Structure 1
Amino acid sequence: MSYKVLITEDINESGKELLREQGYEIRMGTGIDEETVLKEASDCDAILTRNATISRRIMENCPKLKAISMHGVGVNGIDVKSATELGIQVTNAAKANQNSVAEYTIGLILLLAKRTFEYNEGLKAGNWEIRSICGMDLEGKTLGIIGVGTIGTMVAKKAFYGLGMNVIGHKRRLTKPMKTEYGILTNDLDEVIRSADFLSLHVPLTSSTRNLLSAEKLALMKPTAYLINTARGEVTDEKALTKILAEKKIAGAAIDVFDGGIPNMNNPILHLDNVIVSPHTAAFTGRSLERMSYQAALGIVETLKGQVPTFPVNNPNPIDKAS
């Protein structure tokens, strides 16, 4: 059967090729605003999205829609609850980018510790004396990890085995501290924050993690500590973080994600001299983008074939959808 698939933004060829092999018609989107997506998906059987918000209104006005697949892991841009109620399968590319993000996180920790960007900018400005500032060795320093899932565990192991760091991780469902091969896990969030020389965030964005690092929690950090966020911008209180960084109450931060996605260029956090920023690119390697494209397309193929998807996000109510 020939199905139509809207791809809201361009993706690596691997995913498109998989869809073409099934005989599906691919429609490349021209915008990610609600009206454009609604118009272009109106007769589609599936949507593959990167940054578009897929609302209930879109779902209700696309009568053939059976699958929505996320090019990546986080699905906070998709109304999963509504999709479930409407019998629409949501999938993602759950195992596409974990190692890429973990490596990027370790890279940010090294850049902060060794003060590489300060040396780079100072020397390019003609300041040879910038070499008088000192970096730090990571061996023996404590890495605090909030969210010890797949990515958090990879970061922990790379830091422990590769850099000789001590690791303490926060895992909410633990009833008592637990020793692992790479460090200690605890359900005491405050202890993790207080202990960390480097505090790295690896939790998804949910109602319980939004503003998890509030002004109160940020105030628990050591004045010599650094924050690394490659998770979601909304996990921190961005205004409180900006204030604490501007006042030099912590040493600095490396931020790959921002509240609301794309930051306004007037956002003060972009202009602080103790902050490294990047445009949500922790997962953007050639291999990772290939895997994300393929896994996102795979979820659509599996769903449209009536198979249980490899990377399901929800378990939709079985209702009859027009084909």
Structure 2
Amino acid sequence: MKQIILIPQDVDDSGKDYLIEKGYELRILHDSSIETICNNISDCSGLLLRTAPCTEEVFDAAPNLRVIGRHGVGYDNIDLAAATARRIQVCYTPLANANSVAEHTIMLLLACAKNLVIKDKELRQGNYEIRNLMPGRDVFGKTLGIIGFGRIGNSVAKKAALGLEMNILAYGHRLKIDNVPDYVTIMEEVDELIRQSDFISLHIPYSEETKGFIDSKKLSLMNPDAVLINTARGGIVNEDDLYQALKEHKILGAGLDVFEEEPFKETLSNIFQLDNVIVTPHSAALTKEAMARMSLDAAIGIDEVLSGRKLSWPVNQIDERNHGI
């Protein structure tokens, strides 16, 4: 009998074709609610997961589940402790979307610097004079502070330093100085990085430790001409504090791809009312190329576990005593 892989939200054909070629049966849903997942997962060995929630309730309904292949880098939608306690291996796709997110970050940085969105809007309304009313800014020679210097932060630094000739500061808790390029200056204190930066780009994961990491205190350290870019996770920025800083022009602007609530269940954030913010719908990683890579790499991880091969990109560690992450 074929092992069944559940896919709550459809993915690129690359991953599906790979699993079919390996002999798996796919079950693709059109509703990714917890209830629908629970009703369809009882006989599944694997779960190829995008942004759908994977809670203890899901695990209770999945006695045969052995592996979750996370389609992406973040895994805050998975109850990792519950998965580990049930000896369910979680893997992810850390190599698939770093370049795509880095490109999106640079796009937001330049769009904010050049007042792109508001100039587009005003010109379409016949306001040619906007060219003189809102001059843009060069990024050449400006300082970009990168908070979180993993694969994505490193890629952003390379593009900004070598392509745009910006000065790069970086901060990260587990940053290994030996692996840092010579065009990057490591900062020991994040507050000092914030003070010295013209642009700040966030690339840290969401956790209890980083929740609300950028708040009114840290925003007050930014200079009035500084811009905040967030393509990481919405929850690491306190949106109410950011709204006040932007509304009162304590900072120049922001480029946001992620938000505290996704998708929006009620009203839009007040941030959407402001002209000095550029927003995109958590789409930095959603290029055609990255979607194909994420789908395939998640599928490879699932097959590695179910076929007993060495896992390329594990998230949790499953030991013989069945405890610990």
TM-score, normalised via structure 1 length: 0.95
Corresponding position of 2:228? 227
CA contact (8 A) 1:205 1:232 kept: yes
Equivalent-residue separation in structure 1 for 2:175 and 2:94 (angstroms): 24
C-alpha displacement at 1:139, in angstroms? 1.0
Residues 149-181 of structure 1: CA deviation (Å, up to 9, x unaligned): 111011011111111111111122469999741
Corresponding position of 1:36? 36
- Larger mean CA deviation between 93-102 and 178-187 belongs to 178-187
Equivalent-residue separation in structure 2 for 1:156 and 1:50 (angstroms): 27
Listed as ranges, the matches of 1:18-97 within 5 Å are 18-97=18-97
| Alignment-mate amino acid for residue 128 of structure 2 | W
Corresponding position of 1:14? 14
Residues 266-317 of structure 1: CA deviation (Å, up to 9, x unaligned): 3211221100000001111111110000011111111101122111111124
Equivalent-residue separation in structure 2 for 1:45 and 1:115 (angstroms): 49
Equivalent-residue separation in structure 1 for 2:46 and 2:79 (angstroms): 15
Equivalent-residue separation in structure 2 for 1:61 and 1:23 (angstroms): 24
CA contact (8 A) 2:149 2:175 kept: no
Report the RMSD for the aligned CA atoms in angstroms.
Answer: 1.9
SS at match of 1:128: coil
Corresponding position of 1:284? 286
Equivalent-residue separation in structure 1 for 2:287 and 2:253 (angstroms): 26
C-alpha displacement at 1:218, in angstroms? 1.2
Equivalent-residue separation in structure 1 for 2:96 and 2:176 (angstroms): 31
1:268 to 267, 270, 273: 270
**Structure 2: runs of 5+ lacking an equivalent:** none
Corresponding position of 2:213? 212
Equivalent-residue separation in structure 2 for 1:69 and 1:178 (angstroms): 28
Listed as ranges, the matches of 1:136-175 within 5 Å are 136-173=137-174
Listed as ranges, the matches of 1:104-119 within 5 Å are 104-119=104-119
| Alignment-mate amino acid for residue 249 of structure 1 | K
Corresponding position of 1:297? 299
Distance 1:316 1:178, change over 3 A: closer
CA contact (8 A) 2:199 2:226 kept: yes
Equivalent-residue separation in structure 2 for 1:42 and 1:232 (angstroms): 31
Equivalent-residue separation in structure 2 for 1:195 and 1:275 (angstroms): 21
Corresponding position of 1:237? 238
CA contact (8 A) 1:99 1:151 kept: yes
Corresponding position of 1:201? 202
CA contact (8 A) 1:86 1:317 kept: no
Equivalent-residue separation in structure 2 for 1:265 and 1:248 (angstroms): 23
CA contact (8 A) 2:147 2:200 kept: yes
Percent identical among aligned pairs is: 43
Distance 1:275 1:30, change over 3 A: same
| Alignment-mate amino acid for residue 87 of structure 1 | R
C-alpha displacement at 1:191, in angstroms? 0.6
Q: Do structure 1's residue 248 and structure 2's residue 249 form an aligned pair?
A: yes
Equivalent-residue separation in structure 2 for 1:213 and 1:268 (angstroms): 17
| Alignment-mate amino acid for residue 50 of structure 1 | R
SS at match of 1:123: helix
CA contact (8 A) 2:4 2:26 kept: yes
C-alpha displacement at 1:60, in angstroms? 2.4
C-alpha displacement at 1:107, in angstroms? 1.0
TM-score, normalised via structure 2 length: 0.94
Distance 1:197 1:36, change over 3 A: same
Equivalent-residue separation in structure 1 for 2:48 and 2:95 (angstroms): 17
CA contact (8 A) 1:87 1:319 kept: no
C-alpha displacement at 1:61, in angstroms? 2.3
Equivalent-residue separation in structure 2 for 1:178 and 1:307 (angstroms): 29
